[in-house]
Amino acid sequence: MPQAGRNVVFVDGVRTPFGKSGPKGLYAETRADDLVVRVLRELLRRNPDLPPERIDEVAVAATTQIGDQGLTIGRSAALLAGLPKSVPGYSVDRMCAGAMTAATTVASGIGVGAYDIALAAGVEHMGRHPMGEGVDPNPRFLAEKIVDPEALLMGKTAENLHDRFPQLTKERADAYAVASQEKTAKAYADGKIQPDLVPVALRSAEHGWGLATADEPPRPGTSMESLSGLKTPFRPHGRVTAGNAAGLNDGATAAILAAEEVADELGLNKKMRMVSYAFAGVEPEVMGYGPVPATEKALAKAGLSIDDIGLFEINEAFAVQVLSMLDFYGIADDDPRVNPMGGAIAVGHPLASSGIRLMTYLARDFADHPEVRYGITSMCIGLGMGGTVIWENPNHTQEA
């Protein structure tokens, strides 16, 4: 009989530097599947005690599953990365939470004994595949008013969140964005981000070969003054700008998850232990509020309260989305437990890859804070959802 109810640990996670989407971006002439191959191979290089044939599954997420993000990319990238042909793979799509879902899905398989070790990954090349490319929304969505017309445009859902919570002003959103840029710049200066980045070889027909070693989107030195005059593209006199939202980005992430006793057997790292996870739906037109019910569900499943959480990695799709969650829990905008190394407003949000970026950040936070026992990774998801994973710090110094 399979062994059920096993502890699942996050062994290791890596990512490519994130690039700006478009013809001048880092990865303008780099294939999406090659980005995935790069992070998968780096995981194996960094974990030589993991025999590749012990990997039971490869789950790779992409939001736009066509072209070089298609062809069941979990399987095709595994083959391209040189994994044994006995290792299967599949694809995942939960929009922005693709990599998060890849991780929670393989973790569930580990928990019930179907897998011992699995790789989860995510990629989004928004330069090659803009969000919504090739989609054909059913006309019933609008004809039968199943969703608000603005639900399909993420920037407009962020404006709707400002409407719903008038206390979440543009000034608060801009101040949060400035802080994200400052924290990211400090994390780079302190060498906190670089260890989890995988250098990626680049080619350009115009410039020749290059090497991506750092995120392209951060804008150090961003100020309230520089943000105040930006255009509000989603609504005249709106509050959402390019400065207080994540940009359009390209990048890939990957992680190793394993049963705790298998990690111990092989001598693998145990950077985090999964406690619980939950996904929840909200009205699609206020998509950004999704992390609140998802976090409530995950806390209830874990038998914890928000007071038990000592570190938060919340995806900054929009500043207002993070602020809505903080306000719900009575957490200050500048609470040092929240995104201590900055977030997506600075480093970018390549849709399906970001969930594992949050996990690598939280693992780094845990290592820096052994006094903290529990942390969460949380994100809003297109079409009105949220996802939250609660993790335990294996290094924590508190008594159980």
Residues annotated as catalytic (active site), given as ranges: 96, 349, 380
Rounded to whole angstroms, how far apart are CA atoms 60 and 123?
7
Query: DSSP letters along 9-70, please?
Result: EEEEEEEPPPEE-STTSTTTTS-HHHHHHHHHHHHHHH-TTS-GGG--EEEEE-SS-SGGG-
Quick one: which of 305, 374, 357 has its CA closest to 121?
Answer: 357
3-state helix, strand, coil in the chain (%, to 5): 40, 20, 40
For 355, half-sphere exposure in the C-beta direction (CA atoms, 13 angstrom radius) is: 36
Write the CB contacts of 247 (distance below 8 Å, at least 6 apart in sequence). 20, 21, 217, 348, 349
Write the CB contacts of 115 (distance below 8 Å, at least 6 apart in sequence). 56, 57, 106, 109, 259
**DSSP-derived secondary structure letter, 3:** P
